[in-house]
Amino acid sequence: MEAAFFVMAIMGCGDASAGCATARVEPAHYATVQQCQAAMPAALARNTDVDYPVVSAACQRNGAQFVDRAQDKGRG
């Protein structure tokens, strides 16, 4: 099975950061959300051509995700 990793979505938003939509996804994969967040400033600087008034980024989990059955036990 493939391990989980994080990708960075470049988001285009309307004024006041309303109505955000994914404009593109950076090609890099990150092992942790902290690594992804640390890479945001450089990624935003590379993506200034997105045709929206506001451009932001969001780290998103991708790949296989596992549930810890010990913590999940007893939930209905």
- 31 CB neighbour count, 10 Å cutoff: 11
**Least confident among 12-16, 17-21, 51-55:** 17-21
- List the single range of 1-5, 58-62, 70-74 with lowest mean pLDDT: 70-74
pLDDT digits (tens, 9 = 90+) for 21-68: 999 999 999 999 999 999 999 999 999 999 999 999 999 998 655 555
How remote is the C-alpha of 25 from its chain's centroid?
8
Residue 71 and residue 24: Cα distance in Å, rounded? 35
Q: Which amino acid is at 62?
A: N
Residue 44 exposed, middle or buried by CB count within 10 Å (0-12, 13-18, 19+): middle
pTM exceeding 0.85: no
How many CA atoms are closer than 13 Å to the CA of 58, on its beta-carbon side?
A: 12
